[in-house]
Amino acid sequence: MHRTNRRSLAGGVIGTFVEWYDFVIYGLSAPVLAAHFFPKSVPTAALLGTFAIYAISYFARPLGGIVFGVVGDRIGRVNTLSTTVLLMGGATFGTGLLPNYEQVGIAAPVMLLACRVLQGFSAGGETSGGFTYVIECAPKHRRALWVSFGICAAVLPAVLVSLTILLVKAVIGSDDYFEWGWRLPFLCGGLLSLVGLWLRRSLQDSDEFALAAFQRIRGVGPRHRIKASTTLVSTILIAVQAVSGPLLVSYMYSYLTQVSKLSASTAMKTNIAAVLLLVIALPCFGALSDRIGRKPMMLCGGFWLVLTAYPAMSLVSSGTVWSAFAGQALIAIGHAMFGAGGFVAVLELLPTSVRYTGHAISYNMAYAIFGGTAPIVFQTLVTTVGTPTAPSYYVIAIAALALIVIRFTPETQNVHLRDAAEAESQTDNRPGKGPVHVSQ
C-alpha cells in the first residue's frame, strides 16, 4: 500500500479507535464504576445505574452526528474529525479524574453522566466521519477491505483495554486497581486522542469530496437529499452490528464473571482471544466482500447469527474456559461476516454530498436505540427470563429483521460513490439482479 494511502487509512480510523477505547473501558469497568459512583447498599441497582449512564450517552450521539455531519459535509471531513477526536479524548481523560460517591455524593454520578454525554456527542460525529473519509480515499475495488480495517479499529480497543487492565492489576495489585488504578486506563485514553490529532494534522480531504463540494458550490449536477427509506434500511442493517458487537465487546466480560462464574482474569483472556479472532476475520471477509458483493456477505452473516446465537450463549454460560471461547468465537464470526458487507453497503448507499450526515443519522440512531440499550436488555433478559441463554433472543430477533430488509436492499459493490443515490434508483431488486455498474 502506498505511503499516502496508509496515512489516509490510519488517520481515518484512529478516531474510531479512540472512540471505542472509551466505550470499552467503560463497559469493562462497569462493576468498579458502580462501586465508586453509586451507593454500595444495593450492588445490582448500582450496576444497572452504571449501564443506564452507558445507554443515555448513546442518545447524545444522534445530535452529535447531525451537527458534525452537516459541518463535515459542508467544510470537509478532516477539520471536523480533528475536533471530534479532541472532544472525545477530553471526556475520557475527565472521567479518570472524577471524585467518587463517598466524596461528593449524588454529584458523582451526575458528573460521570456529563462526561459520558460529551463523549457520546462527539463520538456521534467520529465514526461516520472517519468511515466516510476512508471509503472516499479507498481504491474502488478495495472499499470493503478498507472499511473492514476501520471496523478492526473499533474492536481492537477491547484487546488493548483488557491487556491494560491486566497489566495494571499485575503491577499494583487488584485491591489498588479497585481503589484508584481503574483511573489509569481512562487517563491513557485521553492521551490517545493527541495521537489521533497528530495523525490527522497533515491529512487532506479526498478528491472525491473536493469535486462533490465544487459541484455543490457551482450548482452543477443533481442535488442529493437523504432519503427516509435509505435511512430506515441503513438503521436496521447497522442494528445487527450494534447488538452483536456490544454483546461480545462490552457486555460479555460482566456476563462471564457474574453468570458463567469464571474468574475475572480467565473471563478477560477468553474475551481477548475471541476479539482477536474477530480482528483476523474482518479483513478476510472484507476482501471477500469486494469479490462477491455486499448482499451475499450480509445474508451469510445474518443467517449465521440467527442459527448460532443460541448455541453460542449456551456454550458461554457452561462455565468452562474452552466453551466460553467457542461461544464467543461463534458470535465473532457472525459479526465479522455481517459487518464486512453491511457497514460498507450503508456508506455506498449515500452520495458524497450527504454521506457524512446520512450515515451519522442512521449509525447513531441504530446505536442509540439498539447498541446503547443492549447491555441493559441483555441483563434484563437474563434476570427476568431466568435462563443464561436469554441474550441470544435479542440477537436472533434483530438479525432476522435484517434478513428481511436485505431482500429489498440494492447491491452497492460497484456504485459510483458521488451519485450513489442515482445508482440506487436504477437498481433492479429482482433475484440475481443488482445496480447499474457505473465506473468511478
109 neighbors 144 (Cβ within 8 angstroms): no
Q: Helix, strand, coil: what percent of the chain each, to 5?
A: 80, 0, 20
Q: Going by C-beta distance under 8 Å and a sequence separation of 6 or more, which residues neighbour residue 124?
A: 60, 61, 62, 63, 64, 65, 66, 67, 68, 360, 364
For 92, 154, 365, the CA distances from 119, given in Å and listed in that order, are 7, 15, 16
Does residue 172 belong to any structural domain of this protein?
yes
- The domain in which residue 337 lies consists of 3-425
Q: Residue 170: which CATH number?
A: 1.20.1250.20
435: in domain: no
Local confidence pLDDT in tens for the 440 residues of the chain:
566 677 788 888 888 888 888 877 887 788 888 888 888 777 777 877 887 887 788 788 889 999 999 998 888 888 898 899 889 889 999 999 999 888 988 898 899 999 999 988 998 888 899 899 999 888 889 999 999 998 998 888 878 887 888 888 889 988 898 899 989 989 988 888 888 888 887 788 877 777 766 566 655 555 667 888 889 999 999 999 999 988 888 788 888 988 888 888 888 889 889 999 999 999 999 999 999 999 999 999 999 999 999 999 999 998 899 999 999 999 999 999 999 999 999 999 988 888 899 999 999 899 888 887 888 888 888 888 888 899 999 999 999 999 999 988 989 888 877 666 444 444 444 334 444 333 33
- 75 belongs to a structural domain: yes
Q: Is 430 inside a domain boundary? A: no
- As for how many domains the chain has, the answer is 1
Q: Is residue 103 part of a domain?
A: yes
CA distances from 189 to 19, 80, 81, 120, 432 (A): 9, 20, 17, 15, 46
How far is Cα 372 from Cα 364, in angstroms, rounded to an integer? 10
- 431 within some domain: no
Residue 434 within any structural domain of the chain: no
- Confirm whether 437 is domain-assigned: no
Task: Please list, in sequence order, all residues whose beta carbon lies within 8 angstroms of the beta carbon of residue 408, skipping any fewer than 6 positions away.
Answer: 233, 429
To which residue does cell 480495517 refer? Answer: 149
CA distances from 319 to 3, 82, 201 (A): 47, 44, 48
Instruction: In whole angstroms, give the CA distance from residue 121 to residue 67.
Output: 9
